[in-house]
Every structure is written in C-alpha cells, then in structure tokens.
Amino acid sequence: MRDRYHGELGAVHDQLVGLAALVTKAMVRATTAVVSGDLDAADEVISQDAVIDAARDALDARVMSVLACQQPVATDLRTLVAALRISADLERMGDLARHIAEIARMRYPGAPLPPVLRPDIEEMGRVAQRMATKMRQVLETKDPKAAAELHFDDDAMDDVHRSTFQHMTDEAWLHGMATAVDLTLLSRYYERFADHAVNVANRVIFLATGANARM
C-alpha cells in the first residue's frame, strides 16, 4: 500500500515535469510562428493546447485520487496541493503560447510582423524559452540556484517588455494600429508566461525549503 502511494507521488512529479516540457516546446514553436509567419508552427501550437489541457486534467485527477484514497498529511499534503497550483500555472502558460500562435494565425496571409519589430519578439521568445527550461529544471531537481536565476531572467523580460512599449511610443509609428494592438498583446503574453515560470519555481522552492517565496 505504501509502495503504491509513493509510486503515485512519483507519478505526479513526473507528470508535472512532462507538462513543463510540453509548455516549453509550445512557447518555442509559438515564437517561430509569430516571428517567421510560420503557419504550420501556429497550427501545431493551437492544436497541441488540447493535449496540454488533457495532460493537466489527468494530473489533477491523479492528485484528487491520492488526496481521497491516501489522506496524506504534512509535507505530502502540501506537495499535492502545490502540484494542483503548479499544474494551473503550466496550463495557463500553454494558453499564452496558444494566444501568441493565434496572433500569427490571424495575421496570415496578410503581412507578418514588420522586420524592425522582430528583434524584440525574438528576444522575448529567447528569454521565455530560457525561463521555461530553468523552470523545468527546478521541478526536476529543486535547484534553488536555477530558481534564483529565474528572477533575473524575469527582470530581463520586463526590460524587453518596457523597451517594446518605449519603441511604440517614442518614435513615429509606421506599422498601423492592428500591428500596435498585436505587439502590445504579444509583449503582455510573454511577460505573463515569465511570471508563471517564476511562480512555479517559487512554489517548488518554498515546498523544498519552507522559505523565500509564497506557495
């Protein structure tokens, strides 16, 4: 009975890491979709979001079943509740990748993003990928160093976010209002993705050390 219980806890952990991998891949492909106007990449991210949602539902069902059948206390209870919160963050990160892909989809077959605007998006995409990769590493290893680095990456994301808005408001805007709306939303989606990656890492480190972050 106890073996089966620890097997279930291990499976919850593995499912979280697997979900983090799906979300990382979705964000990488979403950035390709929007920067290169790659329609296949956009469609892939959009259809893959259902897979992410199903993986999250399976994970949550397993957690509920362990809570109901094993009545865990103390650390195990906190770990399982944290797993529910982390799965919510990860599912939302998948939604944000999908929103980015949907912007690429809607612009097609019209003009993709003007070349002058691509570097900011590429940079946000790079930072998002780095953060998602580190978040997954924190999930796997509970490495507080990787978690601490995520805060610096999040600052870097905020810097690009701010500089994007600065570009939009400082100079004469030659790209039309639809592009202004798209760029504002894209920038917001990357920023939110980064926030969720930080949340996930904070929850893991709080569980592991009891310190330094909200659960």
**What element of type H or E holds 48?**
helix 39-70
Instruction: State in angstroms the smallest separation of the CB of 171 from its own copies.
Output: 9
Question: Given the complex with its own copies, which of 108 and 148 has the nearer CB atom?
Answer: 108
- The answer to the question of residue 213 lying near its own copies (CB under 8 A) is no
* 67-72 long-range Cβ contacts below 8 angstroms, 24+ apart: 70/5, 70/8
Question: Given the complex with its own copies, which of 36 and 179 has the nearer CB atom?
Answer: 179
- Contacts of residue 8, defined as CB under 8 A and 6 or more positions apart, other chains included, come to 62, 65, 66, 70
For its own copies, how many residues bind (rule: CB under 8 A)?
24
CA-based torsion, 61, 208, 147, 151: positive or negative: positive
Measuring CA to CA, how many Å separate 48 from each of 33, 69, 83, 108, 116?
Answer: 14, 32, 22, 19, 30
Residue selected from 118, 126, 142, 188 as contacting its own copies according to rule CB under 8 A: 188
- The answer to the question of residue 50 lying near its own copies (CB under 8 A) is no
Site residues for its own copies, 69-128, by CB under 8 A, read 71, 73-74, 77-78, 81, 84-85, 88
- The answer to the question of residue 11 lying near its own copies (CB under 8 A) is no
Residue selected from 21, 58, 148, 185 as contacting its own copies according to rule CB under 8 A: 185
Range in contact with its own copies (rule: CB under 8 A) among 16-24, 35-43, 104-112, 181-189: 181-189
Q: Are 86 and 17 in contact (CB under 8 A)?
A: no
Site residues for its own copies, 130-169, by CB under 8 A, read 165, 168-169
